A and B are shown apart, each in its own frame.
Chain A
Amino acid sequence: MTAPDDTAARYRRPVPVLWWTGRRPYLLFMIREFSSVFVAWSVVYLLLLVRAVAAGPAAYRGFMELSASWWMLALNVAALALTLFHTITWFVVTPKAVAVRVLGVRLPAFMVAGPLYTAWIAVSAFVVWLLVR
């Protein structure tokens, strides 16, 4: 009863907990938000790999065996799908959030998103070149 806004809150219509399951755009929104869990998982997984590499060849082999187990593969296939979803939704949203102006004219969305996709492909190609040789 400290904040004056409590009065207003009591007149607000309660929102059902699963409000986002009813409509497709709402559901996609929530999947996008929860894709961040898989972004975090992917980084944790990479750090575990680095830790195994630091511990020596035997630990690296052990990690590779673990990563080939069916449940770890399933987890990482899900992580791949959701991090791809993250990348695409991120590049779709960025031109809406970042207004790039040249000579006072706002650049169209594709001229903001285009360089992002280019950078994505270039960085991915560089990582593959670095690791697969």
Chain B
Amino acid sequence: MWPFIARSLEISTILLLAAIGELLDERSGVLNVGIEGIMLLGAAAGFIVGDAVGGFVGLLVGAAVGGLIGFLHGVFSISLKVDQVVSGMGIWLFAMGFVTYWADRYSGPLDTKIPKIYDLSPMFPIALLTVFLIWFVLAKTHIGLKIRAVGENPFAAEVSGVDFIKIRYLCVVVGGALGGLAGASLIISYLGAWSHLPTKGLGWVALALVMFSLWRPLILLGGSLLFGFLWQLAISPETIYAGIPAPLPVLRMIPFIMTILFLVVISTETFRKKWALAKPESLGIPFFKE
């Protein structure tokens, strides 16, 4: 039972890191639908560097690459005023192409592994700490207030002396780095091997998690734990109960079906009002400073 829980907590870790990064992005008003792509690039960089140098360096490089791609999304969507969804999609499609070319030739197991404590990845406490830190920054600090102000109304924030461009860049870079770290820990800590496009939709689940967290880090934590469990259950149900009658493909569909169901539930009338209130007002809208 414990190995199963440790594995599912590891999936939760990956979802949590990617999603908290996206949450930070969105709180500052930048939607990044390219997390799946950022995770892929972070995973590839983490894999290649991790294989050559070592697991922890791989994680750091994965995060750095993620930050770089986050910065690129910032250049496109903040400075060049490209539609945020178009930019995010572009990053995702580019990542699919680049990663296939770059990492597929090294497909296979990773030589180094990072040490685990009782089967549990050290990334799990790190992710918990990150969520707490981001919650603290957003809710309790001055810079958090600025971030939220920029996300609600960049024009008003600008008038009251907040450099919204700087704030948004900060958020997309940190958010991207967390996405890259999520991808790198998927490869280095969870999978331990590279195969063609290994993220398998985790980035999109993370994006959905942000949506139904109502942009609150603590709800996000709960959602990540639940979906980590579901994802792992779909992969190795036999560790919980050997006699599950459903065939493997049906189990594999469960996390995706649950994601749709969750999205539908939070879109119903009752939740919609709360949702509309919680949503950063300027999310997805490019802002022209004249």
The answer to whether A and B belong to the same complex is no
Identify the A interface with B (CB < 8 A). Answer: none
Identify the B interface with A (CB < 8 A). Answer: none
